[in-house]
Chain A
């Protein structure tokens, strides 16, 4: 089945130790998104890629970076995680090709704990 995959599902890191979260998709969608979701809150968009074009949200801290080496993969790098970065990180994809609306398909998420 076509899907969005996130690895790992659970990640524990230490304060200040860089961490990378990965997302892959078999949907061949041209748009990929990274969201941060804290407990009992709505998802917050960090950035998205439209093909290779990177689109950062104005309020996304510099501590968060992303890479998209090809259509299928996208990575979220947190350079120096702080305690406030503990959250669920959701990857999503969508297609602008022939779709009348921006339905986003989500992965299962990576739950990040910062010690």
Chain B
């Protein structure tokens, strides 16, 4: 069965430091996509970054990068130079690429607090 595991319920980081949020996944599919979403206390789910299973390079989007290790089935999110506005819940999710299954499989999330 497909599954996403986020083992860190809560994380703290000092402002301006980097932080890594862990995500491991389980799937027997060869083709899949991995996502990270941010959810501030306001509730809106914000897309951050995507990694395709066939992408050879790690995805980057500004201060966000995804450390993709396919053999270990991990897709950790790295946030560089943390800002106070980064305090939020972070969800890792997985989806098959295209096809008829459009569901996202979600992890339980990691709550990140950025300290000034």
- Chain A interface residues (CB < 8 Å from chain B): 31, 33, 40-43, 45, 48, 50, 88, 90, 92, 94, 96, 99-109, 111
Interchain nearest-CB distance for A92 vs B (Å): 7
A43 to B37, CA, bound (A): 11
Contact status A109-B109, CB under 8 Å:
no
Contact status B43-A42, CB under 8 Å:
no
Known: A94-B102, A96-B98, A105-B47. 7 other contacts (CB 8 A): A43-B106, A100-B33, A101-B97, A101-B98, A102-B102, A104-B104, A111-B43
Contact status B33-A42, CB under 8 Å:
no
Contact status A107-B102, CB under 8 Å:
no
| B68 part of interface (Cβ distance < 8 Å) | no
The winner among B42, B46, B106, B107 for most chain A CB atoms within 10 A is B106
Task: Mark interface residues in B66-96 (1 if CB within 8 Å of A CB, else 0).
Answer: 0000000000000000000000000100011
The winner among B35, B45, B104 for most chain A CB atoms within 10 A is B45
Residues of B within 8 Å of A109, CB to CB, are 43-45
Contact status B91-A102, CB under 8 Å:
no
| B25 part of interface (Cβ distance < 8 Å) | no
Contact status A108-B47, CB under 8 Å:
no
| B114 part of interface (Cβ distance < 8 Å) | no
